[in-house]
Amino acid sequence: MMIQYEIKITGKIQGVGFRYFAQLKATEIGITGWVKNSRNGGVLIIAQGNKTDINTFIDYLQIGPTRARVDKISKYKMQLLSKFKEFEIKS
């Protein structure tokens, strides 16, 4: 069953390739949606997939790329309004 989450991540995650890391892992796992930097220095992700894949994706996000430091990840289940075809980086 397809579900959608809004995922907010804080820490030292801008300028370390975090969005590219998220896109790579999402594509590997089969997650669709998007990632972008937020104004407060964090990262915002909308992710669609099945529950197991989303949880695996969040596990990868907790680790992050080499130079990242993830302080907090919060996720909110959202209503699925439309399906994404891929996982993209938004500016």
| 19 in catalytic set | yes
- Selection from 4, 89, 79 nearest residue 48 by Cα: 4
Catalytic residue, candidates 37, 40, 50, 55: 37
Catalytic residue, candidates 19, 40, 55, 69: 19
| 50 in catalytic set | no
- Selection from 5, 20, 8 nearest residue 72 by Cα: 8
Q: How far apart are CA 6 and CA 8, in angstroms?
A: 7
Query: Annotated catalytic sites, by residue?
Result: 19, 37
